[in-house]
Amino acid sequence: MPTRFRIAYSCAFEEFVKDIFTKPLFPKCVIKTADDYESPEVKEMIKTKEQIVRVFDGGDLMTFSRAGAVSPSEVIGEISKLLVNYGLPLFRIQFTGHKMGGITTLSQFMEE
């Protein structure tokens, strides 16, 4: 049975194209509280990423670095806010500085 798929272009990670292109100037998007999504700096970063997403027809990823302790309900609220308010088809939230004490399963995290 034939399978149909679409190809989308994206920005290349600098680890894979060393010394070929100019270095990207994207600052790291650090989120300390849920209110940071409303700051002018973060809104400008998201707006820029949305423009890149349109150029690449959805084939780009935005990373939010979440600093500090956060509860599962806060994370769900932040994800919901991102899905409703912005046109980012691919995004991830990296938890930096969150002390979990080794490897934590998703069910353990949800129980916290």
pLDDT averaged per 10 residues, the chain (length 112): 76 71 76 91 93 83 87 90 92 74 69 68
Question: What's the CA gap between 43 and 52, in Å, rounded?
Answer: 14
Residues 6+ apart with CB under 8 A from 35: none
Enclosing domain of residue 52: 29-96
* Tokens linked to 84: 């409703």
- Residue 101 maps to a domain: no
pLDDT at 100: 47
pLDDT number for residue 101: 52
pLDDT at 97: 63
Domain count, the chain: 1
Q: Give domain status of residue 63, yes or no.
A: yes
| 64 touches 93 (CB < 8 A) | yes
Measured at the alpha carbon of residue 85, what is the angle toward residues 81 and 89, in degrees to the nearest 5?
90
Are the C-beta atoms of residues 26 and 61 closer than 8 Å to each other? Answer: no
Tell me, yes or no, whether 106 lies in a domain. no
